[in-house]
């Protein structure tokens, strides 16, 4: 199975905290690590480690971090022919993780937001060879829409994780998504209202907008798959935070 991930690559700085600070609160971190990240790169690496044949299309900066990010993909046996170097800094993220693994994230897009539709078109030879395309919201919206249209034209299965939450996401493009994977906050923005206790009904509202499958991630409560044929609730597995 060939998978193309189109999305972000960041240098992540992670702080381990006893709890996520409240507004105005200052707390001390118990640990700090710097590593390669970004939602796109994370997805690509995990799928490659599971045995998939993965290509990455994305943008990094002309700084030292950009070279390190591309080298890191190669070390994970990920095809880097789709990588583009942009003048300026690479993307970065600051991640705050509590004692049970829940997190808050602040992202500086850097080169990720310099990715263009023309860049995607220059890599069509890579995209058209894919069985599945995976995307997130850490690249410009016009690029996301362009990729959704291309994948539908090419018959490529599209998995879209709408993170970080984007208020201006055009709902008409949901009809081009095969698997839409929001969390509760992202679901609220898509439907423009607060999520209620009946997540299934809200997922069905997204189905009515044209999406084929909705998988709502619910943090410690697991996740919920909803489509026209079935509903499946998956409990979360308790793991040790690292």
Closest of 42, 92, 90 to residue 64, by C-alpha: 90
pLDDT of res. 196? 67
CA angle 108, 160, 216 (to 5 degrees): 100
State the Cα angle at 210 between 204 and 215, rounded to 5°. Answer: 50
CA angle 65, 67, 73 (to 5 degrees): 105
Give residue 150's pLDDT: 98
| Run of H or E residues at 14 | strand 10-16
In a structure prediction context, what are the per-residue pLDDT tens digits for the chain, which is 242 residues long? Answer: 899 999 999 999 999 999 999 899 999 999 999 999 999 999 999 999 999 999 999 999 999 999 999 999 999 999 999 999 999 999 988 999 999 988 988 889 999 999 999 999 999 999 999 999 999 999 999 999 999 999 999 999 999 999 988 888 999 999 999 999 999 889 888 888 777 668 888 899 899 999 999 999 988 888 989 999 999 989 888 777 66
List C-alpha distances in Å: 114 to 69, 172, 194, 197, 230: 16, 24, 32, 39, 40
pLDDT value, residue 122: 98
- Could you tell me the residue ranges of all domains in the chain? 2-7+39-84+112-234
pLDDT of residue 242: 60
pLDDT in tens, 162-212: 998 888 899 999 999 999 999 988 988 888 877 766 888 889 989 999 999
**Model confidence, pTM:** 0.87
Give the span between the Cα atoms of 174 and 186, in whole angstroms. Answer: 13
DSSP 107-135: EE-GGGGG--HHHHHTTHHHHTT-SEEEE
Report cis status (omega within 30 of 0) of the bond before 118: no
Measured distance CA(136)–CA(109) in Å, rounded: 13
- Burial (Cβ within 10 Å: 0-12, 13-18, ≥19) of residue 189: middle
* Fold of the CATH domain 2-7+39-84+112-234: 3.40.1190
**How far is CA 93 from each of CA 3, 43, 145, 211, 223, rounded to the nearest angstrom?**
25, 16, 24, 30, 25
């Amino acid at each position: 199975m060939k998978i193309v991930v189109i999305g972000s690559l960041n240098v992540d700085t992670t702080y381990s905290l006893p709890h996520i600070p409240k507004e105005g609160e200052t707390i001390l971190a118990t640990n700090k690590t710097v590593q390669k990240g970004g939602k796109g790169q994370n997805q690509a690496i995990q799928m490659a480690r599971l045995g998939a044949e993965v290509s990455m299309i994305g943008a990094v900066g002309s700084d030292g971090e950009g070279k390190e990010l591309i080298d890191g993909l190669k070390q994970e046996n990920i095809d880097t022919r789709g990588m583009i170097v942009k003048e300026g800094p690479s993307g970065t993220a600051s991640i705050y993780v509590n004692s049970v693994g829940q997190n808050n994230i602040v992202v500086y897009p850097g080169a990720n937001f310099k990715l263009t539709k023309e860049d995607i078109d220059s890599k069509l030879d890579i995209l058209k060879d894919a069985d599945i395309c995976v995307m997130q919201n850490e690249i410009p919206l016009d690029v996301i829409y362009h990729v959704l249209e291309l994948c539908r034209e090419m018959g490529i299965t599209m998995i879209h994780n709408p993170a970080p939450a984007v208020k201006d996401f055009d709902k008409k493009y949901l009809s081009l998504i095969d698997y839409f994977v929001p969390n509760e906050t992202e679901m609220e923005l898509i439907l423009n209202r607060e999520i209620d206790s009946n997540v299934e009904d809200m997922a069905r509202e997204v189905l009515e907008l044209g999406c084929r499958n909705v998988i709502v991630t619910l943090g410690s409560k697991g996740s919920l798959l909803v489509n026209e044929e079935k509903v499946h609730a998956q409990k979360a597995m308790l793991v040790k935070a690292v």
